[in-house]
Amino acid sequence: MKVAIVGGGAAGMFCANILSESSINVTLFEKNNDTLKKFLVTGNGRCNVTNLCDIDEFIDNVSHNSKFLFATLNNFDSFDLVEYLRKNGVTTKIEKGNRVFPSTNKAMTVKQFLDSNLGDNITLKTGCEVKKILRSNGKYKVMFGATSQTFDAVVIATGGLSYPTTGSTGDGYKFAKSLGLEVTDTRPSLCAIRLINVPKNFEGTPFKARITFENNNKEIAVKGEGLFTGFGISGPAVHKITSLIKEHEIGLSTISLDFLYKKTYEQCVESFKEYIRENPKKFVVHLVNKFVNIKFAKDILFNLDINEKLQCANVSNNQIQQIINKLKDYKFEVLGFEDINKATITRGGVDCKQINPSTMEAKKSKGLYFIGEVLDVDAQSGGFNLQIAFSTAYSCARDIIHSSFR
């Protein structure tokens, strides 16, 4: 049996590693000159390989098409991955939120293992971009350069569309369509949100808030940390929101920041009055700055037409009310998602309805498999997306090994 794997990212390389346990003749095509280019930048180079939570919690963290993953996670979950790495000499450590990293803090450690663990049955063709895949008489003709090779099975592991400089340029979608599969619309996820009229001087300013996305009376709220960029907001809480928004909801929507979400309105009034009692001669800008960054404090006062040098003793109850209302509902109109090039993950891809969830084989095309980010499935940050790549790769490799005995 001859198998082609197209793509040497986390999914393709893990699939090749599992197939190394067999004697199946495998050729892995990778367009970059080396494997795992995107993998090396994951987790800021530390690579959050997985998340050690139980399957139910894992599924809760899958933002799109979660049910599709039940079978594959049952085949090979995050505990299996950690054990597999440990048995092969790659130790890991667990950090906040069950996030797992290599003990060395280096994605390179895992890459070196995945590269060196490939068996003699795997031929690695790096610097080799697959241009087309044709099916004829139940076999697959893989075309690259000026030549082609024919295989009994082909595994498409070409990733999504984000960070195209790492090689993920959506080729797998083209292959899928040309082989008769449906591909759902793609869009960025786990990314920044572009906003209208963000003051220029906010760029680089971090904040902690309850961030509420609103569209047509629908609300998605996430508490946590964010950061103003040159064009909008980013950071973990913002990324989470982008994975919960549906594509059509992004238009005509707003983002509201509640900087004082830990306090009720009444508690805020109490805190303001206490500060004023204790600091009657200080300026109102100092009062507001006690609760938010000075840049936000100045912007709020400017917009409310309150002189920032007004002494606290002279701040009226009405002004207190206006300032607190602003601090609890600091609103921006949404322009859209950040460009997909810069997103962490792609939403959309090969329609999961056409794929066998236990094996990753296309239901109507024997020998055609899709694994990793090329599939229409994506999850929150925290190691879930790499685990999806590893689990789907495992299920696919096991099925190929079983079918080689049939």
Ligand X SMILES: Cc1cc2nc3c(=O)[nH]c(=O)nc-3n(C[C@H](O)[C@H](O)[C@H](O)COP(=O)(O)OP(=O)(O)OC[C@H]3O[C@@H](n4cnc5c(N)ncnc54)[C@H](O)[C@@H]3O)c2cc1C
Binding site for ligand X (CB under 6 A): 6-12, 29-32, 37-39, 41-43, 47-48, 129-130, 157-159, 162-163, 167-168, 171, 344-345, 372-373, 383-386, 389
- Closer of 42 and 289 to ligand X (Cβ): 42
Rank residues 157 and 181 by Cβ distance to ligand X and give the closer one: 157
Q: How far is the CB of 251 from ligand X (least distance, A)?
A: 25
C-beta of 271: minimal distance to ligand X in Å? 38
| CA 132/CA 140 separation, integer angstroms | 10
The pair of three-digit structure tokens given for residue 310, joined into one six-digit string? 């007004």
Of 292 and 393, the one with the shorter C-beta distance to ligand X is 393
- DSSP secondary-structure letter at 385? H
Q: Which residues, including other chains, have CB under 8 Å from residue 174's CB and lie 6 or more apart?
A: none
Residue 103: partners with Cβ closer than 8 Å, 6 or more residues away: 91, 92, 93
Q: How far is the CB of 145 from ligand X (least distance, A)?
A: 11
CB of 9 to ligand X, least distance (A): 2
Q: Which of 130/287 has CB closer to ligand X?
A: 130
Taking alpha carbons only, the member of 168, 170, 125, 177 closest to residue 148 is 125
Q: How near is the Cβ of 83 to ligand X at its closest, in Å?
A: 18
Backbone angles phi, psi at 379, to 5 degrees: -135, 175
Q: Is 226 or 324 the residue whose CB approaches ligand X more closely?
A: 226
Cβ closest to ligand X, residue 122 vs residue 157 = 157
CA gap 367, 204 in Å, rounded? 49
Q: How far is the CB of 386 from ligand X (least distance, A)?
A: 3
**Planar angle of CA 319, 325, 331, nearest 5 degrees:** 125
Letter for the amino acid at 323?
A: I
Of 229, 222, 170, the residue nearest 373 (C-alpha):
170
